[in-house]
Chains A and B, each alone.
Chain A
Amino acid sequence: MDTASRVESRIKSDILYDIIAGVMEVPVSRINDESSPENLETWDSFHGLILADELETRFSVKFVLEDLTSVKKVADIKRNLAKYDILISDE
């Protein structure tokens, strides 16, 4: 990618957590970087895809297949979004 055209967006974690909680239909208090299919019963592969679709729309990004398969917990989503210059942080 041409580095000159890169525009970074900084997004607060809460916004990401809200989206995830919405898709997984759990209270947002249950979402943190360690949330995963292991500890959220609604997070199956279908809801994982719905979440990816939601994130693509909200942040105008297009994940590659490997992004979809590499997500094991919320922290991985942050790492993937960072590849597309969507930086999730609480600073």
Chain B
Amino acid sequence: MLTMEMEMEMEMEFRPRLSYFISKAKSVKDITFSKKTRVAILSCFTIYGLEESLKVKCAERKLGCMTYSSPYNQYNQDILSSASPLYEFSPNLTFMLIDTRTILSSLFYNPYSVSVSERREYIDNRVKELVNLVRKFTIKSKSKLIVANFHAPVYTPYGICETKTEYGLREMVSDLNAKLSYSLRNDPSAFVFDFDAFVAKYGEVNVYDYRQFLFGDIKVSLNCIPSLAEEFMGYINAELGINRKCIVLDLDNTLWGGIVGEDGFEGIKLSPQSPGTSFVEFQRVIQALHERGIILAINSRNNEDEALRVIREHPYMVLRENNFASIKINWNDKISNTKAIAEGLNIGLDSLVYFDDDPVNRELVSSALPEVMTVDLPKDPALYAQTLMNLNVFNTFSITDEDKRRGQMYIEERNRTQLEKSVINLDDFLSQLEIKINIREADKFTIPRISQLVLKTNQFNLTTKRFQEEEILRFSEDRNMLVGCAQTSDKFGDNGITGVFIVKKNPEYSEWNIEAFLLSCRVMGRRIEDGIMEYILNEARKEGIKRVKGRYIPTSKNKPCENFLPRSGFKKEGEDWILHLESKAE
């Protein structure tokens, strides 16, 4: 039997090495991918192979990735000169890596050569310089800037006295990191990549290879470059609005040990004692993800009564029935259950992550539904939690209040669906729902959510134009733009912000253009879009506008809104759909 260490070692071993990415990168042709991004890397040291690793990892996910690396240690010049190749490249995402050795200069070797107050002043000045550099960049570029923070080295010349020393080496670096994060916290275009946590994850001894460092100023060892690229993928996915939204879970030997149908309610392994601890731990990690807004679903071949009894009554279940937005416990095959979950929740298969201990089921789902991310669970349940924590697929650039409430919203949705089943006529259903639409103009509270919807909404999205948060902020401050959102609620609860519109005003032509109009899949089919359109048309009338122009740009996913403009009275004229307001005037 494999020990945990052996299994972990084997997993490390199977991780493709940098040479794999280098040779694979040559054959990557990303012209065929519809989603593309441009990534710039600014670094003060040699960072071989990162571009290749990013390109290959993107291609594996069917994403195009153009890259640019600043010449060795030229990041400053690249940022400061408006005519630099960096700005010419025009990145969407820019990663900046400066290492601890460089930022601390001679203090890296002997920080105690200067006084405590001088050390503090030194760090404060470095933070100011860094933040200045960040601001210079974000003013000049539309790109998001991801700044790596600094690794606090394990070795210090003071050894065991280090922690007895005021503002010692490690404290200096921690303070630098804290101040950097704090300074950039409210900047929507700048993010801090926790490089210190990256080193903790892979180990200082692995990330730094002294031979490579002394040979060629390589400060992230070649073998760790693919792992660094993997961390960066979290940002690339968020930038492209790709993220997994839902965890689909098998039950037996996945959420608990054993098979409830055979071992019985008391016989399954789920307790504060080993081996039941593995499953409790796994469930706790899932629960925390659920609380940040990840939807949970069950896909289990089981007797529903027996399985539900565990979920409802078992003293050590962490996840309970009301944590799950969709529950499929039946004897149907895993493929049709998975499809039914996605359809029921109105999300794409590419939003699902599937956990099942049975390799046969995994193979079945992954070959029939390749869009679903099927996780290769290790044989040892003790490693389940860690496997989940290592998935870097749930990232978004912000976590909004809507995200945190999402779990609750889906439970409310389950109740709505039950009402829908008992009411046959759609109009009756909608009127019984008592829908309220509150239109709000974009402000600093609503913009993060507006941007999130703009980046990820696929189905009810007329133009699928993806605007970044900073652009939306700019639009909202522009007198010739109307940016707003719809907050919807009904008798079952608050749905939060679920609709967005961006209108460009052209008063000189007495015309408004609908640049973006979209609706979260969560509230589709409730005619909320009609309410939002009515608001836009009324606003246009108030300003004496004669024409409102819209456009439907078809994609593989936005068929649900194909007929929305004609249904709202718009008439096709060339590429555009136009509504003449005079004709509607009463």
Q: CB within 8 Å of B: which residues of A?
A: 22-23, 25, 45-47, 49-50, 53-54, 57, 63-65, 68-69
Question: Is there a chain A Cβ closer than 8 Å to B1's Cβ?
Answer: no
Q: Which residues of B contact A50 (CB under 8 A)?
A: 18-19, 22, 49, 222
Q: CB within 8 Å of A: which residues of B?
A: 17-19, 22-23, 26, 48-49, 210-212, 214-216, 218, 222-223
> What's the least CB distance linking A58 to chain B, in Å?
11
Complex CA distance for A19 and B49, rounded to whole angstroms: 19
Query: In the bound complex, do residue A25 and residue B17 qualify as a contact, i.e. CB atoms below 8 Å apart?
Result: no
Complex CA distance for A22 and B216, rounded to whole angstroms: 22
Q: Which of B22, B23, B26, B211 contacts A65 (CB 8 A)?
A: B211
Q: Which residues of A contact B17 (CB under 8 A)?
A: 53-54, 57
> What's the least CB distance linking B509 to chain A, in Å?
56
CB-based nearest A residue for B49? A46
Query: In the bound complex, do residue A49 and residue B48 qualify as a contact, i.e. CB atoms below 8 Å apart?
Result: yes
Q: Among the interface residues A22, A23, A25, A50, which one has the most CB atoms of the partner chain B within 10 A?
A: A50
Query: In the bound complex, do residue A53 and residue B222 qualify as a contact, i.e. CB atoms below 8 Å apart?
Result: yes
> What's the least CB distance linking B118 to chain A, in Å?
35
A69-B215 contact in complex given A25-B26, A46-B48, A49-B222, C-beta closer than 8 Å = yes
> What's the least CB distance linking B212 to chain A, in Å?
6
19 contacts between A and B (CB under 8 A): A25-B23, A45-B215, A46-B49, A46-B216, A49-B215, A49-B222, A50-B18, A50-B19, A50-B22, A50-B49, A50-B222, A53-B18, A53-B222, A53-B223, A57-B17, A64-B211, A68-B211, A68-B215, A69-B215
Complex CA distance for A47 and B23, rounded to whole angstroms: 11
> What's the least CB distance linking A11 to chain B, in Å?
19
> What's the least CB distance linking B475 to chain A, in Å?
44
Query: In the bound complex, do residue A65 and residue B48 qualify as a contact, i.e. CB atoms below 8 Å apart?
Result: no
Query: In the bound complex, do residue A49 and residue B22 qualify as a contact, i.e. CB atoms below 8 Å apart?
Result: no
Complex CA distance for A65 and B17, rounded to whole angstroms: 21
Complex CA distance for A47 and B222, rounded to whole angstroms: 11
Query: In the bound complex, do residue A53 and residue B19 qualify as a contact, i.e. CB atoms below 8 Å apart?
Result: yes
Complex CA distance for A79 and B19, rounded to whole angstroms: 23
> What's the least CB distance linking B204 to chain A, in Å?
18
> What's the least CB distance linking B173 to chain A, in Å?
27
> What's the least CB distance linking A57 to chain B, in Å?
7
CB-based nearest B residue for A50? B19
Query: In the bound complex, do residue B216 and residue A49 qualify as a contact, i.e. CB atoms below 8 Å apart?
Result: yes
> What's the least CB distance linking B387 to chain A, in Å?
25
Complex CA distance for A57 and B20, rounded to whole angstroms: 14
Complex CA distance for A57 and B17, rounded to whole angstroms: 10
CB-based nearest A residue for B22? A50
> What's the least CB distance linking A85 to chain B, in Å?
20
Complex CA distance for A50 and B53, rounded to whole angstroms: 14
Complex CA distance for A57 and B218, rounded to whole angstroms: 19
The 6 closest A-B pairs by CB, nearest first: A46-B48, A65-B211, A50-B19, A68-B215, A65-B214, A54-B19
CB-based nearest B residue for A68? B215
Complex CA distance for A23 and B17, rounded to whole angstroms: 12
Query: In the bound complex, do residue B216 and residue A23 qualify as a contact, i.e. CB atoms below 8 Å apart?
Result: no
